[in-house]
Each structure stands twice: as structure tokens, then as C-alpha cells.
């Protein structure tokens, strides 16, 4: 897999209103629509709406780097000075996410596909 930012997650308070707005913006129907997240894909770019993001400390969108080995990459980032933000978490379908903060407090997301 080629690594790179392929997913952005936006924290939203009203999932139904956000879905309507982003559906209009992107011009596509979501490929995933459940209580955890609504996901859109536009030409290979994934955009997710997370109704729990604000309560988990998200203050804005987070870009997620797609990686082959999330635990290895997480450890490597922590070893060079990143601060743990969210431990590895299974978000369904074998997909894993985690995040760290860089030395300026910016959140960097990691994503591993099944």
C-alpha cells in the first residue's frame, strides 16, 4: 500500500444536518452510514463525519495517514517525540485508527485497512 493522507475525519454535532451538507458539497451518497460515522468517497479521497469527535477532543478535521502497520508506525512516531493522543482502536471491519500530537500540538491520524 502506498502511504499518504487519504482520509479526513470531521467532528460534527448534528450528524443528519452534516450529512445533508456534505452530500451536497461532494455530490455523492455516503458509502457508509451508521451511528459511528458517515463516510463519503470522492475519487479515492475518504471524508468521514464523526458525531463523537468533539467529545473525544477533536477541535477540527484530522487527516489520517494510511499505513501498513499502525502499531509499528505509532511506536516510531512516539520514539521520535510525538505525544500519544489516541491509542490504536478498532473502528469496525478490521480497520484501525490511532493518533498522536506533533511537537506543536497538531493531531496526526493513522489508519490501517483490514
Instruction: Supply the pLDDT for residue 2.
Output: 57
Q: Which residues of the chain, if any, have pLDDT below 50?
A: 1
Instruction: Supply the pLDDT for residue 112.
Output: 96
Domain ranges of the chain: 4-112
CA distance readout (Å), 79 to 28, 51, 74, 107: 40, 31, 9, 16
CA distance readout (Å), 99 to 57, 73, 93, 112: 12, 10, 19, 12
Assess contact for 87 and 77: CB atoms under 8 A. no
Instruction: Supply the pLDDT for residue 65.
Output: 95
CB proximity list for 102: less than 8 A, separation 6 or greater: 82, 108
pLDDT tens digits for 37-65?
899 999 989 999 999 999 988 889 999 99
The CATH superfamily label for domain 4-112 reads: 2,3-Dihydroxybiphenyl 1,2-Dioxygenase, domain 1 (3.10.180.10)
Instruction: Supply the pLDDT for residue 92.
Output: 82
Amino acid at each position: 500500500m502506498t502511504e499518504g493522507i487519504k482520509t479526513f475525519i470531521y467532528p460534527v454535532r448534528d450528524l443528519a444536518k452534516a450529512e445533508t451538507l456534505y452530500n451536497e458539497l461532494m455530490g455523492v451518497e455516503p458509502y457508509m452510514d451508521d451511528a459511528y460515522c458517515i463516510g463519503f468517497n470522492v475519487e479515492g479521497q475518504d471524508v468521514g463525519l464523526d458525531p463523537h469527535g468533539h467529545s473525544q477532543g477533536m477541535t477540527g478535521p484530522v487527516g489520517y495517514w494510511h499505513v501498513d502497520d499502525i502499531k509499528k508506525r505509532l511506536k516510531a512516531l512516539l520514539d521520535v517525540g510525538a505525544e500519544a493522543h489516541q491509542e490504536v482502536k478498532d473502528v469496525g471491519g478490521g480497520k484501525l485508527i490511532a493518533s498522536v500530537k506533533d511537537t506543536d500540538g497538531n493531531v496526526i491520524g493513522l489508519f490501517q485497512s483490514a
